[in-house]
């Protein structure tokens, strides 16, 4: 697999860090998830259970090993340092500065393992005036500007329901780790990688940011209407709504032809996107009058055949029943010998030759503690000693 032979020591918890290490694990890295003795990652107790096991935890922690260590105990910390000395990557999503206070500053990590890649995920970044603030997805959605552009015209700013800022930061961190490993393969050098919930989401403002840079004008919330393009949006079929998104004049002409409204091509009110945008209600009314005559399935067939981007608005059940999403295996089932089938999200990055796969079950808390400590040279007696001291 892509990251075979790479060992990741993962000190992160909840979502942004585990999402990052999920990608590394799915691509073949050996991810050792460090968890508190007794309690473990709080995400084990979040989300709905299937057969007593959280599918939220299972989705983000498949393919990982679990090692419980008490990092407030010197013997737990000593075991962690031994493990780091065998690792290629160390990941954390503590608040900035915590790694330093734990005695795991960059220089010390480099001393333990020359060439190690250290990755930090935080709310606002490793330095700057907000570095010590607590963060959370909702706060980063608010402070990144994302909420200010999400929502309907005339309605309040709106958060997205998925924890997008955690997810984007986690994906960026995984990309940065992989890139640092490319550099290490070439130079032997280690690196420090950082991603933050807020920076990640700011980077997703896209043309809403660059248009503001160019004009100084603030974007407004436009709901399902595109801020620049018309027609575009949800249109009324006889049995529901259909999403239609012609991206330019050529596709707009294809849309008109497919709707048998070709006479509108030359209509003086609708010649250019600018004209149509200024008369959005009028052009939408013409289109709705036609689309209302037939069902969604008809329009999907006709419009796709004509090369006009279109689709249904699927709810979560319909998504996972959709033949394309099923073909792409975006819901996969892990057969667990004790918990039975555990359904999790599939792999969004596809490799033809050496694909992502489930090579380890989502671990019980501390499932790999004994094996990992033995690999580090601890005798059975020493392991028993760590356990009786509640250090592991």
* Ranges within 44-63 binding its own copies (CB under 8 A): 46-50, 54-56, 58-59
Q: Is 175 in the site for its own copies (CB under 8 A)?
A: yes
Binds its own copies (CB under 8 A): choice among 44, 159, 276, 286 = 159
Kindly tell me which of 26 and 383 has the beta carbon lying closer to its own copies: 26
Residues 94-123 that bind its own copies (CB under 8 A): 106, 123
Alpha-carbon span 376 to 193, nearest angstrom: 26
For residue 361, the minimal CB distance to its own copies (Å) is: 16
**Angle at CA of residue 196, ends 191 and 202, nearest 5°:** 125
Residue 267 appears among annotated catalytic residues = no
Q: By CB under 8 A, is residue 173 in contact with its own copies? A: yes
Of 194, 237, 287, 386, the residue at the interface with its own copies (CB under 8 A) is 194
Tally of CA atoms within 13 A in the half-sphere of 223 that contains its CB: 7
* Shortest separation between residue 104's beta carbon and its own copies, angstroms: 15
274: tokens are 């600018």
Q: Which is nearer to its own copies, 15 or 383 (CB)?
A: 15
- Pick the binder of its own copies from 37, 91, 135, 373 (CB under 8 A): 135
Print the binding letters for residues 17-36 with its own copies: x by CB under 8 A, - otherwise. ------x---x---------
Interface with its own copies, residue 272, by CB under 8 A: no
Range 303-313 burial, b when 16+ CB lie within 10 A, else e: beebebebebe
Q: Contact between 334 and its own copies (CB under 8 A)?
A: no
Instruction: Mark residue 189 as left, alpha or beta (left: phi above 0; alpha: psi -120 to 50; beta: remaining).
Output: beta
Q: Is the dihedral of CA 46, 52, 58, 64 positive or negative?
A: positive
Q: Pick the binder of its own copies from 3, 31, 283, 383 (CB under 8 A).
A: 3
Binding span for its own copies by CB under 8 A among 72-80, 213-221, 259-267, 372-380:
213-221
Asked if residue 263 binds its own copies (CB under 8 A), the reply is no
Strand 331-336 to 310-311 pairing = unpaired
Among 11, 180, 237, 372, binds its own copies (CB under 8 A): 180
Query: Which of 77, 78, 98, 208 is the binder for its own copies (CB under 8 A)?
Result: 208
Angle at which helix 249-258 crosses helix 296-306, to 10 degrees, equals 130
**Interatomic CA distance for residues 99 and 181, integer angstroms:** 21
Binding mask 303-332 for its own copies (x = CB under 8 A): -x--xxxxxxxxxxxxxx-xxxx-xx-xx-
User: Among 143, 230, 255, 264, which residue interacts with its own copies (rule: CB under 8 A)?
Assistant: 143
Task: List the catalytic residue out of 226, 267, 298, 336.
Answer: 226
Cβ of residue 199: shortest distance to its own copies, in angstroms?
Answer: 5
Q: Does 224 bind its own copies (CB under 8 A)?
A: yes
Omega of the bond leading into 319 within 30 degrees of 0 (cis): no
SS (H, E, C) 162-229: CCHHHHHHHHHHHHHHHHHHHHHHHHCCCEEEEEEHHHHHHCCCCHHHHHHHHHCCCCCCCCCCCCCC
Rounded Cα gap, residues 267 and 284, in angstroms: 14
Single out the segment in contact with its own copies by CB under 8 A; choices: 68-76, 246-254, 272-280, 361-369.
246-254
Within residues 336-355, the interface with its own copies by CB under 8 A covers: 343-346, 348-354
Q: What are phi and psi of 156, to 5 degrees?
A: -70, 165
Using CB under 8 A as the binding criterion, the count of chain residues that bind its own copies stands at 150
d(CA 66, CA 73): 18
Q: Does position 211 bind its own copies by CB under 8 A?
A: yes
Q: Among candidates 119, 114, 73, 57, which has minimal Cα distance to 94?
A: 119
Q: In whole angstroms, how far apart are CA 261 and each of 12, 48, 246, 288?
A: 56, 49, 15, 11
Q: Is 174 in the site for its own copies (CB under 8 A)?
A: yes
Q: Does 302 bind its own copies (CB under 8 A)?
A: no
Q: Which of 61, 148, 273, 291 binds its own copies (CB under 8 A)?
A: 148
Name the residues annotated as catalytic. Answer: 226
């Amino acid at each position: 697999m892509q990251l075979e032979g790479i060992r990741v020591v993962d000190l992160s918890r909840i979502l942004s860090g585990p999402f990052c290490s999920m990608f590394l694990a799915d691509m073949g890295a050996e991810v050792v998830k460090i968890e508190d003795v007794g309690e473990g990652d709080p995400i084990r107790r979040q989300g709905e259970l299937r057969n007593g096991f959280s599918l939220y935890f299972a989705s983000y922690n498949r393919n990982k090993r679990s090692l419980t260590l008490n990092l407030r105990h010197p013997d737990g910390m000593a075991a962690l340092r031994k493990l780091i000395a065998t690792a290629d990557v160390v990941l954390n999503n503590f608040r900035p500065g915590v790694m330093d206070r734990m005695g795991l500053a960059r220089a010390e990590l480099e001393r333990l393992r020359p060439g190690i890649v250290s990755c930090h995920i935080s709310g606002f970044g490793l330095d700057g005036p907000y570095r010590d603030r607590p963060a959370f997805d909702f706060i980063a959605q608010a402070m990144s500007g994302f909420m200010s552009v999400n929502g309907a015209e005339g309605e309040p700013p709106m958060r997205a329901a998925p924890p997008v800022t955690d997810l984007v930061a986690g994906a960026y961190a995984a990309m940065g780790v992989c890139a640092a490993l490319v550099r290490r393969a070439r130079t032997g050098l280690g690196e420090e990688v950082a991603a933050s919930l807020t920076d990640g989401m700011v980077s997703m403002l896209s043309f809403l940011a660059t248009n503001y840079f160019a004009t100084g004008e603030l974007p407004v919330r436009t709901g399902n209407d595109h801020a620049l393009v018309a027609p575009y949006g949800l249109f009324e079929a006889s049995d529901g709504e259909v999403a239609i998104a012609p991206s330019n004049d050529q596709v707009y002409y294809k849309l008109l032809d497919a709707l048998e409204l070709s006479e509108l091509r030359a209509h003086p009110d609708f010649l250019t996107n600018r004209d149509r945008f200024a008369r959005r209600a009028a052009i939408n009314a013409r289109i709705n009058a036609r689309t209302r005559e037939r069902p969604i399935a008809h329009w999907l067939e006709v419009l796709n055949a004509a090369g006009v981007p279109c689709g249904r608005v699927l709810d979560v059940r319909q998504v996972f029943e959709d033949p394309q999403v099923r073909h792409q295996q975006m819901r996969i089932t892990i057969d667990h010998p004790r918990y039975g089938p555990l359904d999790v999200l599939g792999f969004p990055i596809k490799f033809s030759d050496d694909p992502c796969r489930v090579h380890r079950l989502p671990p019980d808390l501390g499932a790999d503690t004994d094996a990992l400590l033995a690999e580090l040279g601890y005798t059975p007696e020493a392991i028993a000693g760590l356990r009786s001291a509640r250090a592991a």
